[in-house]
Amino acid sequence: MKQKSVFLPRDQFGQPVHAHGGQIVSHQGMYYWIGEDRTGRNRVACYRSANLRDWEFRNHILTVDSPAKPHPQMPTDLRLCVEGAGCNIERPKVLFCRESGQFALWMHWELPDNYLEARCAVAVCDTIDGDYTYLGSFRPIGHMSRDCTVFQDEDGSAYFISSARDNFDTHIYRLSPDYLAIDRLERVLWPGQQREAATVFKRRGVYFMLTSGCTGWTPNQSSYGWARNLAGEWSIRRNLGDETTFRSQPTWVLPVYNAAAGEFDYWYLGDRWGGRGHYFESQYVLLPLRFAGDTELSLEWLEEIDL
């Protein structure tokens, strides 16, 4: 099944799929695409697909009108939107917590006109595509927190990763057993190197982190680092893709089982941002990641991909 590597799919109603800065995860035999939807009072949308090509709109899982309740473990600001000001939610990602049986939604929270609040926010739901309950926003252990992602390890431990200290550093936080709170700061990565758009995956026991530079909505050279222990030493960064990462910014890496090869393929999902004033024209870039040995990664340009 071939398709263009740069695309903006339409859902079953003919509407563009708005799931920017998002993730595609597999759950109960289906793929779910969760990401930013800034239309109207919506903030986070969820779509579903059996084949990664045809996407069915499921729900606006977080809206300005979502119910809110206090966070069970930490003081948070419960206002999703501040009256008269609004709110901006970016890079939402969910994790399924086996211990609680619930989905935790982590995201970046800001007032609409700037990025000064630098907070993360959390919501929770019993189903992946249901109506999430907002648990509030906060700065993890007091640190600034902007672009973010999540990672779940095979042993059930889960992590929130975000750009800290005005984007100068990248923080890896370990989450509490219910995935709804920050437990501790595990690692400060690449201090002073100004990275954004982190996404983490694991292959053959090696952790990889993709990040971009910080140039707003304009694409730049992405890079990757690797580690054998998430909380331990990480490699220096190496370039990934071309100088604009094929005009995209990383948002997620999706493992897809390749039955013929008997192992997983890993697909790079990036945002080709429409930019300020053209946000809703933003497209997606999907390209296969290639590996040389266990720790070398490359991303090459393809006009068409075969799903």
From 46, 105, 128, 197, residue interacting with ligand DGJ (rule: CB under 6 A) = 197
Query: Does 90 contact ligand DGJ by CB under 6 A?
Result: yes
Q: Which is nearer to ligand DGJ, 76 or 251 (CB)?
A: 251
Q: Which residues pair with 243 in a beta bridge?
A: none
The yes or no reply on residue 195 touching ligand DGJ (CB under 6 A) is no
Window 216-255: residues binding ligand DGJ (CB under 6 A): 216-217, 249
Sign of CA dihedral 163, 234, 230, 186: negative
* CB within 8 Å of 58: residues ≥ 6 apart: 32, 46, 47, 48, 129
- Bridge partners, 45 (sequence order): 35, 60
Residue among 249, 239, 139 nearest 196 (CA): 249
At residue 213, φ and ψ (nearest 5 deg) are -80, -175
C-alpha radius of gyration, the chain, whole number? 18
User: Nearest distance from residue 101's CB to ligand DGJ, in Å?
Assistant: 30
Please classify residue 176 by burial: count the beta carbons closer than 10 Å to its beta carbon, then call 0-12 exposed, 13-18 middle and 19+ buried. middle
Query: Which of residues 59 and 282 has its CB atom nearest to ligand DGJ in the complex?
Result: 282
Q: Is 196 in the site for ligand DGJ (CB under 6 A)?
A: yes
Q: Which residue has the tokens 């870039």?
A: 285
Nearer to ligand DGJ, 194 or 249 (CB): 249
Which residue lies nearer to ligand DGJ by CB, 136 or 250? 250
Q: How far is the CB of 243 from ligand DGJ (least distance, A)?
A: 17
The smaller minimum CB distance to ligand DGJ, of residues 17 and 197, is found at 197
Binding ligand DGJ (rule: CB under 6 A), the pick from 91, 139, 171, 203 is 91
Across the strands, what pairs with 62? 44
Q: What are phi and psi of 225, to 5 degrees?
A: -130, 165
Q: How far is the CB of 205 from ligand DGJ (least distance, A)?
A: 29
Closest separation in Å from C-beta 195 to ligand DGJ: 10
112 binds ligand DGJ (CB under 6 A): no
Compute the least distance from the CB of residue 277 to ligand DGJ, in Å.
12
Position 147 contacts ligand DGJ (CB under 6 A): yes
- In this structure, what token pair is assigned to residue 47? 């779509």
Report the nearest approach of ligand DGJ to the CB of residue 181 (Å). Answer: 23
Three-state DSSP at 140 gives: helix
21 is a site residue for ligand DGJ (CB under 6 A): yes
Based on CB atoms, which residue is closest to ligand DGJ, 37 or 90?
A: 90
Strands across the sheet with 30-36, in order? Answer: 20-27, 30-36, 42-49, 56-63
Which residue is closest to ligand DGJ by CB? Answer: 216
CA-closest candidate to residue 158, choices 83, 95, 102: 95
Interface residues with ligand DGJ (CB under 6 A) are 21, 90-91, 147, 196-197, 216-217, 249
